[in-house]
Amino acid sequence: DRPMERPRRLFARKPHVMYWVEHRNGFFYVGTNDAGAFNFEIIELPVDVVISDDLPHAQQGRVVLRHSESIYRINADPFENYFVVYEQSDCHRRIRVVEVHRQQQVDLERDYYYHEFSETCFSFTPGNLDDPFGTMCRDKSHCDYSSDVLTYTYTSFTQPKTVYEFDLKTRSQKVVYRRHVHGFDGSAYESKRLFAEAADGARVPISLVYKKTTQFPAPAVIAGYGGYGVMKEARFSSYRLSLLNRGFVHAIAHVRGGSEQGRSWYDSGKLMHKRNSFTDLIACAEHLIAVGVTEPSCLTIRGRSAGGLLVTAAAVMRPDLFKSVISEVPFVDVIVSMSDPTIPWTAYEYDEWGNANVEDQYEYMRSYCPMSNLKETEYPNFLLTTSLTDTRVQFWEPAKFVAKLRATRRGSNLLLLKTYLEGGHFARVRSLMYAFAIATAGRLPRNPLARNNLSS
């Protein structure tokens, strides 16, 4: 209500401290990981408060939602009568709805209920992400502060993107938009959540989907990322149906380095704990084999960028475990890239991977860097992709890796490098990747036009 005033700083920047801020009725509501609240707590501050940079934020306001070691508070949306908090626990998202109209003072730990979801493997985002006309809020759950309706976009392995309006008062919801996929019947597919036990005892979630007629053990593609705290969530893909309809299982390994189980899950998969990401993926593959979902002879792992490092490092550590590897724009020359601050992104990435110019960090990176650990042995089939215009992972990283692997490996498995001339870091051709997975799993159909007798 004072648009001509200069903006003022709310908090000073502090290393490793993050914030998100919302406003309601003369108060700021700040989600922060300050003072050890790694999964975030929410603090109420008057809008005219003068913040001291020397005191923890919780001592300068009122904590309205305390930190929890098992519940990750992702973000929040305040309404006039309700306060919505988006949470994640044990790789499962949910919505906390607090009826603040019942309260004299906002307390997000009482007068609340949870809006739960019926599926185990899904993704939701506040707002309408599929509105082609811009008539609704694209990235917010509501445009009207006084509204009692929460808008969100939902998708899962078996449900295309759907926009819901959820009535916070009556707790009912309706579909306002659903993306149509011609010929798709979600009831023909099944999704579930499994957990693998890592080498140190951590429970690593696995989300998977397959057609109900699939015969096990089946060919499988395990995807993973495991970096920057990014959550690799279960979403619908019409492209993926070409694999599922051929009897494949699609799985996501929610390895450490993402935030699927809170910020500690991220912290335990970065810097001097990065090897956990790779051993988690190996544990997930071993678990799917042990329970009869798939076999090493038809198991493909797939990742891009940091996920390309994930799958490549896992294959270098355990080449016997996988049939094929699809590694897109992979960060595979870790030592060289993290030693040269003139390369774009390198200095910015020190907090994620470490600085190879520091001896103990160099030695740790060297223990998992794919370029540094190739040896004379038989490796799985490899398809690597890169782009000449990629400024995040330069094209010479996968090119050098392919050259060294070609000179080092034994056997005659496929080793392919696809270089895109444009498209940058996000260049890709899904049909190439799917054809590679199908072919190396031995699932290519016979060509009905091929002649049985070439002499005829």
Task: Give yes or no: 390 in active site.
Answer: yes
- What is the number of alpha carbons within 13 Å of residue 406 lying toward its C-beta? 12
Catalytic choice (268, 305, 327, 387): 305
Task: Give yes or no: 425 in active site.
Answer: yes
Cα 96 versus chain centre, distance: 22
Cα 49 versus chain centre, distance: 37
Dist. CA 253–CA 225, nearest whole Å: 8
Contact present, 140 and 75 (Cβ < 8 Å)? no
Residue 48 phi/psi, 5-degree rounding, is -95, 15
Q: Which H or E run includes 164?
A: strand 159-167
Dist. CA 337–CA 443, nearest whole Å: 38
Task: Give yes or no: 387 in active site.
Answer: no
Contact present, 276 and 301 (Cβ < 8 Å)? no
- Residue type, position 415, single letter: L
Record the tokens describing residue 220, joined without a space: 């499988």
Q: Are strands 381-387 and 415-420 parallel, antiparallel or unpaired?
A: parallel
Q: Give helix 306-317 / helix 275-290 axis angle, nearest 10°.
A: 60
Active site residues: 305, 390, 425
